[in-house]
């Protein structure tokens, strides 16, 4: 069975934004999710001046 965009979004709800108890989906940081077979790409929009944040979210 192929993975869906909704399944990816649900999985990303488990990724907490550093320093907060909320996840990256509820903060509205997930701009786009693309599923192509077994390949998934998620594009995030981060608004921070702290260069450590993107490395922490990986």
- Torsion over CA of 58, 37, 2 and 15, rounded to 10 degrees? 10
pLDDT attached to residue 13: 97
pLDDT attached to residue 58: 66
Q: Per residue in 1-56, pLDDT tens? A: 789 999 999 999 999 988 889 999 999 999 999 999 889 999 999 877 788 877 78
Side-chain half-sphere of 31: how many Cα atoms within 13 Å?
5
State pTM to two decimals: 0.79
| Alpha carbon 45 to its chain's center | 9
Q: Residues 6 or more apart from 13 whose CB is under 8 A from it?
A: 23, 25, 26
């Amino acid at each position: 069975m192929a993975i869906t965009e909704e399944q990816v979004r649900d999985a990303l709800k488990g990724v907490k934004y550093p320093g907060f108890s909320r996840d990256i989906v509820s903060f509205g940081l997930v701009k786009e999710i693309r599923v192509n077979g077994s390949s998934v790409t998620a594009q995030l929009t981060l608004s921070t001046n702290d260069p450590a944040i993107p490395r922490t979210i990986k």
